[in-house]
Amino acid sequence: GFDTLYGHLSTALVKVGQPVTQGQVVGLEGSSGSSTGPHLHFELRINQKPVDPTPYLPPGAPSAYRV
């Protein structure tokens, strides 16, 4: 199955394992750990293995997306 990870959040608005819908806000951006400023670490895993999320993101994704 698909799993996602959202790192460096200041606040999580959903619980682990809770189903979410497209467009739903799942958390608020933060700056935890050794980060130098607020940002989001997004990770997609398929069958527990990290994969490049680019093919799964909407076409024309904002330039702020970096892989």
Tokens 């959202």, residue located: 6
Is residue 60 in a domain? Answer: no
CATH number at residue 42: 2.70.70.10
Q: For residue 15, what pLDDT is reported?
A: 96
DSSP 39: B
| pTM beyond 0.75 | no
Domain residues for the domain of 26 are 2-55
The number of distinct structural domains making up the chain is 1
Is residue 62 in a domain? Answer: no
Question: Structure tokens of 30?
Answer: 């933060």
Is residue 61 in a domain? Answer: no
Give residue 47's region: left, alpha or beta (phi > 0; psi -120 to 50).
left
Instruction: Please state the φ and ψ torsions of residue 6, each to the nearest 5 degrees.
Output: -125, 105
Per residue in 38-64, pLDDT tens? 888 889 999 999 999 888 887 776 655
